[in-house]
Structure formats: structure tokens, C-alpha cells
């Protein structure tokens, strides 16, 4: 009987230790840090805890980007070693909250990505004056073959079309079909000339749900340029 009681006691202690360990790893604890020190790395933040990273002279080496010399980041790290997630919030100002996210795969942390926020109940507005658009890796490029009237396809929401260097007379215009899987009947295509003065470009007409005709006009002297057209596609809806 005494042996059974001892085994039950040992089992209860083991279960209690396991529960305590789980709580320490997965439940937020009291905040750590709070002392200005930009040499601290967020990669070394406590797992399952809120850790405060503070600086009065710029960002640390693995902190999210910041424009202020003084910063206070509240960082929450959760998961298991080798598969961690981090959420960081910059709280040293009264502007709209900045939330940044990244995760650890084996021994490699991804870059920090910022989540934009809005005061609006519906819709979206960028409140902090930052740039709204597509990031690196979203774009594509294509070179127009043969002549300036040949169709071009770029199945990306943004990118650059390099037109054929066929001669275009002064005051003349030329049209070609541009297709993209990112286009739809409710999408808006914004084309602009990139790096060449004296030219203009507009959407001449809609060809299909996924293609439009672009019209390039030479507003200067007769030239033979491989004109670059930068484009961006904005998704929309009709209802």
C-alpha cells in the first residue's frame, strides 16, 4: 500500500511539473526587458512571454524597421524551438498601432512584415503615411518581340513591359494587346512610362476580361527606343 501511495505521489508530482512547464512555454508571463539596450536580439526573446525591447539611439540588428531613434517594442514569442512565431508592436508614439510579424524555420528567421491598420469600420485606409502597393517578388517583366504591335503577356499584378525598339515617328501612336491573369472585368490597370521622356501611354480599350489594348504615343521627334512601361493592376468589384 505504501509503495502504491509513493507511486501515486510521484506521478502527481511529474504531472504537476509537466503542466508547469507547458504554462511557462505557452502562456504569456510578466514582461521582461524594458531597459534601453539595442544590442539585445529579438531572436533571443523569452518563449511564451512578453518581452520589451527598448532603445534611445536607433533599432537593434534584428528589430523591425523604425523611423524613430527612440523605440519601445513589445514582443510576444510563441511556438516551440525551431518553429517559432513573433509579434512585435511599436508603442513609443500615439500613431496607429504598428504590428510586425515573422517566424523561425529551423535556424532561419524570415524578414519582419508589417500589418497595416485602419480606423475605419469597413474598407481600408493607410493611416501612417506609408506606401501602399506590391512588394518585392510580386512583379514580372516581358520583352515585346518583333515590333511595337506585338502582344505582350505578364501574369503578375505589377511589373515592366519593355517594348520593341522599332522606330516610331514624331506624333505617331501605336497600340498592342497586353494580357495578364491578374486582370479581370473589375480590375484597373495603371500604366506609366519608365525612364523615357517624350512618350505617353494610356489604356485604349478593353479587349477581354484579362486583356487590354495599350496605346503608346511619341510626343517628340522620331525615335527608336525600347520604351519601358511600368504597370500596376488594382483589383476591384462591381457590387
Domain end (from 115, 147, 171): 115
**pLDDT tens across 81-96, in order?**
999 999 999 888 766 6
CA-CA distances (angstroms) from residue 214 to 20, 102, 154, 184?
65, 40, 14, 16
Output the pLDDT for position 16. 57
Kind plus residue range of the DSSP H or E element containing 76 = strand 71-80
Q: What is the DSSP letter of 80?
A: E
Could you tell me if 156 and 109 lie in one domain?
Answer: no
Residue pair 93/76 in contact by the 8 Å Cβ criterion: no
Tell me which residue range forms the domain holding 66.
31-115
Q: Quick check: is 132 in a domain?
A: no
Q: Quick check: is 153 in a domain?
A: yes
0.85 exceeded by pTM: no
Query: What's 170-239 look like in SS3?
Result: CCCEEEEEEECCCCCCCCEEEEEEECCCCEEEEEEEEEECCEEEEEEEECCCCECCCCEEEEEEECCCCC
pLDDT above 90 for 99: no
Residue 28 has phi, psi (to 5 degrees) of -60, 135
Could you tell me if 94 and 156 lie in one domain?
Answer: no
Q: Quick check: is 120 in a domain?
A: no
Q: What is the DSSP letter of 112?
A: P
- Rg, Å, the chain Cα set: 28
Under the banding of pLDDT at 50, 70 and 90, the label for residue 118 is: low
Amino acid at each position: 500500500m505504501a509503495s502504491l501511495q509513493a507511486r501515486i505521489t510521484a506521478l502527481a508530482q511529474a504531472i504537476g511539473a509537466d503542466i508547469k512547464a507547458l504554462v511557462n512555454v505557452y502562456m504569456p508571463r510578466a514582461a521582461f526587458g524594458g531597459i534601453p539596450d539595442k544590442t539585445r536580439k529579438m531572436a533571443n526573446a523569452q518563449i511564451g512571454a512578453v518581452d520589451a525591447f527598448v532603445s534611445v539611439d536607433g533599432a537593434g540588428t534584428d528589430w523591425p524597421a523604425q523611423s524613430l531613434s527612440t523605440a519601445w517594442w513589445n514582443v510576444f514569442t510563441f511556438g516551440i524551438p525551431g518553429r517559432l512565431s513573433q509579434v512585435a508592436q511599436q508603442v513609443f508614439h500615439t500613431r496607429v498601432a504598428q504590428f510586425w510579424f515573422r517566424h523561425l524555420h529551423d535556424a532561419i528567421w524570415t524578414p519582419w512584415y508589417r500589418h497595416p491598420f485602419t480606423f475605419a469600420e469597413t474598407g481600408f485606409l493607410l493611416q501612417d503615411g506609408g506606401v501602399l502597393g506590391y512588394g518585392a517578388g510580386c512583379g514580372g517583366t516581358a520583352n515585346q518581340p518583333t515590333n511595337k504591335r506585338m502582344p505582350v503577356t505578364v501574369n503578375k499584378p505589377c511589373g515592366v513591359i519593355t517594348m520593341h525598339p522599332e522606330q516610331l515617328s514624331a506624333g505617331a501612336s501605336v497600340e498592342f494587346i497586353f494580357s495578364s491573369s491578374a486582370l479581370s472585368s473589375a480590375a484597373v490597370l495603371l500604366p506609366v512610362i519608365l525612364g523615357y521622356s517624350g512618350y505617353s501611354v494610356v489604356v485604349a480599350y478593353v479587349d477581354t476580361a484579362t486583356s487590354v489594348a495599350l496605346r503608346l504615343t511619341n510626343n517628340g521627334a522620331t525615335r527608336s527606343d525600347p520604351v519601358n512601361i511600368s504597370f500596376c493592376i488594382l483589383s476591384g468589384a462591381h457590387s
